[in-house]
Structure formats: C-alpha cells, structure tokens
Amino acid sequence: MKRVGCNPWQDAKRKTEYLQARYASVSPCHFYDEILGHIEDEPDFQLCAMHAQAKKGQRMRRYDDVMDMLLDAGARRDAYVYPAAYYHSYALEALLQSTSCLYIDLDHVAAKQLRHLCDADFFGHRPTYLVNSGNGVHLVYVLQEPVQTYDWAKRLLKRIHRALLKVFRQHRFDADLTTGISHAYRIVGSLTKLGQVCRAYCVGAHMTIAALAQSVGVTWTRPQKAHPPVTKSVRPAVAPHAKRGFYAYLVEKIAERTQEGHRYTALFALTCVGYKCGMALEAISEDVMHLAAVLGLPQREAKHALEVCNPEKARTVRAATLENWLGWSFDRKTKRNGRSRKEHLAKVAADRTAASRRRVWACLKEAPMATISELARKLSITRRTAAKYFHEWMDRLLERVPAQMAASEPVASARTAKAAKTSDAGIASPASFIAYIPAPGGELGSACAGQAKDNRAGARGSSPDSMTSTFLLLYRWLYATLYPETSTSTSYYGKDEEAWQT
C-alpha cells in the first residue's frame, strides 16, 4: 500500500487507540517470558541486546535476567534484543542455538493500513502477538516448544520466514526482506523513535512449528541424506593354499613334542590344520585316533576334538594360535642364513655402503678431475653421499704421502739413478697419491695470477671443493718443487705445467 501522508504523531496515536480497543495489552515481562524464558532457564546462555547509539564497544549488552534488560531499556530509543539463544552469547546466525518465535517486520504501517491488516485476519497468518514498534509493526509467531536450530532446521526456518514475508508483500505491505531468523528487534517497554512506549498486544494462540510451516507450504521434516551409505561388498573367504606336507609334518611332530597339558588342544590344532590343508575327514579322524593312542589320551576326548572343530573357522586360524595350542613352535626356514633380523639388516647396510664406496672410487679412478657435484650427477646420488666417499678417497691418498716422500728422498745431494728409479717406482703404483691428483676443484686460470673462479659444479664459495682444491694445489706444488724431473711424466696439467711449478 502507499504510504499515508499525515502527521506521524497523530497517526501513531490513532494506531495505539485502535490496538488498545481491539486487543488486550501484554506486559513486557509476560511477553519476554514467552519468547525468552527458555534462555533464562539455561545458565550457559545470556540474553543478547543492543544499544544502537551507545559508544563503540558498549553497544552489545548481555543480561542474565529480563528485568535487568527492561530497566536499562526503559528510557532509551535505541534498545533492541535478539529473540534467540546463541552459543557463547554472541549474536551470529552461525552460533544460533535455539529459538521459540519468528518475527515479521512490517515497515511504514499507518493506522488505516493496520485496520485493513487486522480486518483481513492477517491474510490467514494470524500471529501470537502484535508489537506496535512506532512507524511499523512486528508480527510475532510464538512456538509451543523452542526449536533446536540444527543446520537443517535453520534452512527450513529461513524458508518459512521468507514465505511469510512474501505473503505480506503480495498484499502491498512493506515487509523488510533484510531481516532473518537472527535479527534484533525493538524491546517492548522501551521508547520508539517518536518517543512513545513500544507495546505488545495478544492477537492469537501459540502454534507448533509443523503447523506454521504447513501454513506457508513447507514440510517440517528432517531431510534424508541424498546419498545413503553404500554397504561394502563382502569378499568371499578364499581357502588357503593346501600344503599336505605341512599336515604330515604336524602329525610327526605332535607325536614327538607334545607334552601333557597340550594333548587335547594339539589334536584340535591338527584337526584345524587338516581342514586348512583340504584333507578328508576320514583321514583326519584316523590320524587323530592314532595320535590319541600314542599320547595316552582317552578316545572320547579325541572324538570331541573332532566334533567341536568348525571347518569354516578352522580355515582362518593363525599360526601363533596353533603354536599356543600345540605348546611348541614350528620349525621355520630362514632366508637369512641363520642370521637374526638385526644382524641381517646390519649386513645389508654394510653391503650397500661398500657398493656405494666402490662406485664413487671407480668413478674417481676414471675421472680424477671430477668434483663432488659432478660425481653426484654422474652416479645419480646426493652431494652428501658423494662428498662422504670423495673425502674417504682423499684421506686414503693423503695417508700414502709420507711413504712416497720417504721413498723418493735422495741419498746424496745429487740424485742417483737408483734414487730416480726408486722415485719412479714409488709413483708408478696405480693407487699412488700423485697419480690421482685432479685439477684444483675445477678452478680455471693461473693460481699465482689470482684468477681462481668458482667450482664448476658447486655453488659459489662451496667449502668442500675449495678446501679440496687448496690441498691439491699445495701437494702438487710441493712435489713439483722436490722432484722436477718426475713431475712432467705424471702431470695432468699440460701447457700450464710451468705455471704450476712456479
């Protein structure tokens, strides 16, 4: 309907006079006992109110009692309350715990429109209470029992609330679509924007949530799951692989090893193994009776062991259970040549270490100038592993230096042919230190010119390659200085030999 252009104070006065003449007024305490009483009874929940024009940080108010809320709101024009219970007393729809009413907010309702609304009996949707909030009215539908607002219940409540709003909008009333099931409404007993007291009037009766939902075409039932759980198909039990030799082994060992206290259970275990191995019942019975005579067990107990054994369950008996019944353990063949698991794992680790060491050392023999990074790339191993065996290689070479130096030391000041021969023999060994000296860590240019660059495969400033290059350069220079006549025959530096010797 169109808004009526008249004095708002006069229109508000006419609305109040009309409602007082037609309906019975309800006190604020009785009104809030109906819609908020279930919150007061719960010690874990508080009433959530709001003073819209208060200072920032003081707008949200929480109360344990309705009277305290009404006393604070009595002289205020900005007092609102959330008619629902919230977890942690924080007014958010996600934390909504329960509600006992639904509010419909109709804005800009004049006295003439209000009379039309009441005469039409609210278009078939009579509320429990009507609240004169000043410029508009609130239609309050109070439920007989509070509704626990689970996720599915929230969805249905939203549908009911939306449907009620559409009903009144179809009749040209300004129903506020921005409101929802979690919204704050003006406190009954406080002041309106025009300075009048907000009052509530009893219009109808309480209703069930199912009846309210049915009035707007919504079915109040918990929806079933869209995809019911699919039962897993049970795989048929597969009989174990029959091993007749194990059954024969067990018949022989039961007669030799079974002690008193395990005779009956041993025959029961033999029956289970017979079923597991696919033996005929006659053959199992014959062996059980024979073993009963050997072990000195009465025939009636042997027959009982045969009768109580379930063939289906016998197929799933574990080896540990059989050993417990027999009183002794099976003779298991190990694949570790008699070693324990700990010893076997230690041997495997040692073999793996030795294999990795041989791979790295063989690569160093083929390419003495290879760096750690080149070894890692070539052998597809980590730099850490390559560095470990690279430095072991260098340590073994460095251990031979004193022996080689002593073997090549001349007897007199002038070198004799014998000394030269001894020196040549000392460096001719394939495992000698000098024979496998690589270029200094991939550095390019002359060392004495100060043009050393980064390692070819490592990062800038790589400490292992730099240290290796330094030691190699030192020993190469030392040997070339002491034995200039032999350094040329074992050199890997070519044209730069004179620069290195210098």
Q: What is the pLDDT of residues 237-254, one digit of tens each?
A: 555 566 778 899 999 999
- Examine the domain organization and report whether 123 and 271 are in the same domain: no
Looking at the structure, do residues 345 and 322 belong to the same domain, yes or no? Answer: no
Instruction: Give a yes or no: residue 484 inside a domain.
Output: yes
pLDDT tens string 95-144: 999 999 999 999 999 999 999 999 999 999 999 999 999 899 999 999 99
Q: What is the CATH number of the domain that holds 62?
A: 3.90.920
> Do 375 and 282 have their domain in common?
no
DSSP per-residue codes, 321-342: HHHHHHTS---PPPSSTT--HH
The answer to whether position 384 is within a domain reads yes
Are both 250 and 139 inside the same structural domain? no
Mean pLDDT, residues 394-409 taken together: 77
Total domains, the chain: 3
- What range does the domain containing 347 cover? 337-502
Residue 438 burial class via C-beta count within 10 angstroms: exposed 0-12, middle 13-18, buried 19 and up? middle
Residues 19-33: what's their mean pLDDT?
Answer: 94
Pick the more confident residue, 477 or 264: 264
* Residue 362 within a domain: yes
Say whether pLDDT at 419 is over 90.
no
CA distances from 444 to 129, 273, 456, 457, 487 (A): 95, 76, 9, 13, 20
Per-residue pLDDT at 4 exceeds 60: no
Cα separation, 435 vs 487, whole angstroms:
10
pLDDT exceeds 80 at position 310? yes
Q: Does 416 or 373 have the greater pLDDT score? A: 373
Please give the pLDDT value at position 312: 87
- Do 296 and 430 reside in the same domain of the chain? no
**Mean predicted confidence (pLDDT) in 467-491:** 52
Specify whether 301 is located in the same domain as 360. no
Q: Where are the beta strands (DSSP E) in 190-298?
A: 199-202
Q: Are 257 and 331 in contact (CB under 8 A)?
A: no
- Please say which residue of 197, 215, 233 terminates a domain: 215
Name residues whose C-beta falls within 8 Å of residue 471's C-beta, 6 or more positions apart in sequence.
Answer: 394, 398
What pLDDT was estimated at residue 499?
Answer: 39
Q: Which residues of 139-158 are buried (b: 16+ CB within 10 A; e: fewer)?
A: bbbbbeebbebeeebbebbe
Token pair 């508009």 in the structure block, residue:
136
Whether 349 and 265 share a structural domain: no
Q: Which amino acid is at 17?
A: E
Q: Indicate whether 389 and 486 sit together in one domain.
A: yes
pLDDT tens string 163-199: 999 999 999 999 988 899 999 999 999 999 989 999 9
Cα–Cα nearest to 464, from 359, 356, 375, 353: 375
Q: Global pTM?
A: 0.48
372-379 vs 341-366: helix crossing angle, rounded to 10: 120
What was the pLDDT predicted at 387?
92
Read off the pLDDT of each residue in 438-451 and give the average, rounded to a whole number: 39
Q: Do residues 103 and 183 touch, judged by C-beta distance below 8 A? A: yes
* CA–CA dist 251, 245 (Å, integer): 10
Residue 232 in any domain: the answer is no
The 3 state secondary structure assigned to 22-80 is HCEEECHHHHHHHHHHHHHCCCCCCEEEEECCCCCCCCEEEECCHHHHHHHHCCCCCEE
pLDDT digits (tens, 9 = 90+) for 30-88: 999 999 988 888 888 999 999 988 888 788 999 999 999 999 998 899 999 999 999 99
What percentage of the chain has pLDDT greater than the value 70? Answer: 76
Measured distance between the N- and C-terminal CA atoms of the chain, rounded to whole angstroms: 109
C-alpha to C-alpha distance for 362 and 355, rounded to whole angstroms: 11
> Across the chain, how many H-helices and E-strands are there?
20, 11
β 174-175/96-107 pair status: antiparallel
Mean of pLDDT values over 425-431: 40
Q: How far is residue 9 from each of residues 14, 20, 339, measured CA to CA in Å?
A: 9, 17, 103
Model confidence at 343, pLDDT cuts 50, 70, 90, reads confident
Query: How high is the pLDDT of residue 471?
Result: 61
